[in-house]
Amino acid sequence: MDIEELKQFIESSDFTPETKQKIAVMLAGKAVLDYDTYAGVKELLQQELDSDFKEAGIDLTDDPEAQEEEKKYETALEQIDASMEEDMNFIEEKTKNLSDMSDTLAQVTEK
């Protein structure tokens, strides 16, 4: 998921306007979705979900169906985490390649 996809997901979601605004502020001016920003967004969304359940007086701690859904949710998050890590590794690799090329170009032009 890239930053634009995340923005679109948040805008079309049922999260509160306050949560959407907090996330918009977090994402403002970012060209890429780094891991820290992703973790912050994830935390904000989880806080709202937890708050909604608490307000409704819902305790799903011992509910097998809820536990199964939580496992699915956690699996999906793990897949997103893995995808984010792959993306970050790709960006780091390409940045290093560009830096190496820049160094090589600088050496060639100095001669």
Q: Per residue in 69-81, pLDDT tens?
A: 888 888 888 888 8
Q: Output b/e per residue, 44-80; b: 16+ Cβ within 10 A.
A: bbeebeeeeeeeeeeeeeeeeeeeeeeeeeeeeeeee
Cβ atoms 1, 30 nearer than 8 A:
no
Q: Give the pLDDT mean for 43-72.
A: 85
Question: pLDDT value at position 88?
Answer: 86
What is the domain partition of the chain in residue ranges? 1-58, 61-111
First-last CA distance in the chain: 44
23-38 residue pLDDT tens: 999 998 888 888 888 8
- CB count within 10 Å of CB 33 equals 20
